Structure 1
């Protein structure tokens, strides 16, 4: 079958992979999380992904993950979708987190491939099916082999698309051919998980993105897909290109996106706080470069309607 972009993507179009704010002492900052979530929604995000890679899920406790969902839900109400990251290297633990996310108020769960153990494709498929069977929430699969060591192969994705609760993929595979093969054979909703690929994947049938850079520039990234939807494909390309300096400094400058996003949020006076070890804060030079790129991007004219 030939896939067309769904009229109503399952979790929205413009999603932010939200950082998890901490206090100066390193505790969960729920007030900060609520304020940041409100700003992101006001900036055009129609979905938030909590406790993903950018949300430092490896270093937050199960209780903190549930508290974060409850707090953000209280702040944003039903205006946007909340997707909770629940992926771990342990199937039983992942199931437990998915059930807890549902009870806390999440609309869906993000499930990454089990990392380190590198299960073969049949075991990987069984893992995702067990999580989807146990939870009543729709599932977004997270394909990021650069971090997990295991690709969710296109044929595995095609099979998983038959599960009624497997509805979406956050794509960080860097395999445009494989992505298009799955898009052409399934109704899975694809989300660009790498900011530099927002327009490229959207143009071939993705429904939106899950962005780290949206923590600091939600309007600028939303404008890319808005321009494309309005038929201004050239304008969309220019908007993507304008964002590339900040995208590169945030995502490809040798530091995890969590570190750079929190550094820039902090510089802007927005909720972020420190990163948790083993991550370390960005240095002064990195922070200066991020702020300069941000200032150039937000000062760019005609963000929404390029001339």
Structure 2
């Protein structure tokens, strides 16, 4: 299902007022991203939508069929006009920057694989994206969230499932996509678990006893037979659990505990890293546990910890 959705996003982008030769190149680019770059289905869909917006803009802006020759002839001003149109449509700076990144990726592929080049795209500056640090929950808020989850649903097995998923996000630092991609055969049977992350990168994470217990409770209460090659976490009809269900569960927790809007499933992964760092964990180890390919992505948590210390200091010494 996901692959069909991804393919349709690219097909829609590639078949609208686009010459057949270019359409075929775009499809080859998609296969390259999926098979060689091993991008996630979520990223592929985003790239497809970004490309679709770019091609639709060109079709209207230039008033002609989009060909490889047209892509080669575009000037800086025309790329800037596209970005301005995206901002006018209400896209944030971050989303606009991602759209430009998608278009650049296509041009890099065309230059390398199809001998179609345009240096103008490299001269276009992406909009500045404000530097933001992750917003983790406090240890107290995380504990309260996990304790509150079972109170917000009526089915015991659903409550156990939600607790197991959230425990994996916080206790092991998993992405929600990684947790929900687990199969029945992936469930921990010892104190470690093998995780397949972004672009097929494999890592081994330790599994705390409390997380093992949460998963065991769920598997015992689940009314469906969890097959070794089937999903570990299932919905009420027995199919693979949709991430929206967990996002909705966290939304209910936010309302119940008056937590900020930043208290999302992904914030639990941030909380895992931040709390581990504050307890003396080293960056390299945290990097490996999170599956970050670049240490810079992990170093942001040092900013989180410093900000937390400053807040504590300000609260302790603020003047009346």
Q: Shorter-chain TM-score: which interval?
A: under 0.3
Report the structure, 1 or 2, having the larger helix content. Answer: 2
Report the structure, 1 or 2, having the larger strand content. Answer: 1
Q: Could you say which structure has the larger radius of gyration?
A: 2
TM-score normalised according to structure 2 size: 0.25
